[in-house]
């Protein structure tokens, strides 16, 4: 395995210390340390499966459990909607710890698992789960991302109408993220790599298209130009993907959004 000694020490402690608690039914890693792609910049992503009746305790004390693995922390922060969160040590080692009750545990949700402990051998009966690594598959239709793209794009009228230039600059990233999701759907990649590992999931052509997004500071004209470029990429790719996957393109919503933008900015986005 790659990485550094601090990360390896956390993993070793997770395998040694956590199974001593009878309420812990399984301990496993996801992310880079599960797929063999770890480097010295990688987070350590530790997950636990616990008995259902102990979930409340772990919900209150997950950060104490994390510190058993890392030692002192300068930050622990719960992730909303989940049991657990992230921890940062004084020397900036980043460790995530998440807890799952047995009743809702789903082993197949992960692309790559390294099993550290399985109390009765039923959580991962076949052991580690090999990662597919973002290999291309069957193209699919990302309906939610398509709708979100045109919703966020249409809000550019409100943002720049209020002269919220900082928000407008941030919005370029938001619509670009939906374009990334569309590109992954083009390749049939259901993204499972970490948020800081995208290159391998995109084709060279897709990366070039994203890298060509015009730079946008806080000048309205630059923000509009960046959104125009992204919009044209999205429509070209989106209409082709809708046809390929035999899904309806949201013509009425798209036309309404483009008309809204043209009426306000006096330029075409398509």
Q: Which domains does the chain have, with CATH numbers?
A: 5-118 (3.30.460.10), 143-265 (1.20.120)
Please, which pLDDT band fits residue 42 given cuts at 50, 70 and 90?
A: confident
Rg (CA), the chain: 22
- Which pLDDT tens digit goes with each residue over 129-170? 887 666 677 899 999 999 999 999 999 999 999 999 999 999
Average pLDDT of the residues in 241-255: 97
Average pLDDT of the residues in 253-267: 96
Residue that wins the pLDDT comparison between 45 and 135: 45
Phi, psi angles (nearest 5°) of residue 208: -65, -40
Q: What integer pLDDT is reported at residue 228 of this predicted model?
A: 97
Q: Give the separation between CA 75 and CA 67, rounded to whole angstroms.
A: 11
Q: Give the separation between CA 238 and CA 183, rounded to whole angstroms.
A: 9
Q: What integer pLDDT is reported at residue 41 of this predicted model?
A: 85
- Which pLDDT tens digit goes with each residue over 114-131? 999 999 999 999 999 887
Q: Give the separation between CA 26 and CA 99, rounded to whole angstroms.
A: 10
Q: What integer pLDDT is reported at residue 196 of this predicted model?
A: 60
Q: What integer pLDDT is reported at residue 36 of this predicted model?
A: 82
- The whole-model pTM stands at 0.65
Q: Is the pLDDT of residue 193 over 60?
A: no
- Which pLDDT tens digit goes with each residue over 21-32? 999 999 999 988
Average pLDDT of the residues in 48-54: 97
* The token pair that represents 217 in the structure block: 């500071």
Q: What integer pLDDT is reported at residue 186 of this predicted model?
A: 95
Q: What integer pLDDT is reported at residue 141 of this predicted model?
A: 96
Q: Give the separation between CA 108 and CA 262, rounded to whole angstroms.
A: 45
Exposed / middle / buried, residue 243 (Cβ in 10 Å: 0-12, 13-18, 19+): exposed
Q: What integer pLDDT is reported at residue 257 of this predicted model?
A: 96
* The token pair that represents 244 in the structure block: 């390929």
């Amino acid at each position: 395995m790659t990485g550094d000694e601090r990360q390896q020490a956390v993993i070793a402690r997770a395998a040694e210390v956590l199974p001593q608690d009878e309420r812990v039914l399984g301990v496993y890693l996801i992310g880079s340390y599960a797929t063999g792609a770890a480097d010295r910049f990688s987070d350590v992503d530790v997950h636990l499966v616990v008995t259902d009746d102990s979930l409340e305790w772990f919900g209150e004390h997950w950060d104490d459990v994390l510190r058993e693995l890392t030692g002192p922390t300068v930050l622990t922060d719960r992730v909303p909607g989940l049991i657990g969160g992230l921890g940062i040590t004084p020397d900036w080692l980043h460790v995530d710890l998440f807890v799952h009750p047995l009743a809702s545990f789903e082993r197949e949700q992960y692309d790559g698992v390294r099993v550290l402990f399985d109390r009765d051998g039923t959580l991962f009966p076949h052991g580690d789960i090999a990662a597919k690594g973002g290999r291309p598959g069957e193209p699919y239709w990302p309906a939610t991302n398509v709708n979100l793209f045109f919703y966020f794009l249409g809000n550019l009228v409100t943002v720049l109408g209020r002269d919220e230039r900082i928000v407008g600059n941030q919005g370029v990233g938001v619509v670009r993220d939906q374009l990334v999701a569309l590109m992954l759907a083009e390749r049939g990649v259901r993204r499972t790599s970490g948020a800081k590992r995208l290159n391998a999931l995109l084709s060279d052509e897709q990366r070039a298209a994203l890298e060509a997004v015009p730079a946008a500071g806080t000048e309205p004209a630059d923000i509009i130009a960046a959104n125009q470029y992204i919009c044209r990429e999205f429509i070209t790719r989106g209409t082709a993907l809708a046809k390929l996957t035999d899904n309806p393109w949201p013509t009425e919503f798209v036309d309404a959004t483009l008309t809204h933008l043209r009426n306000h900015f006096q330029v075409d986005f398509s």
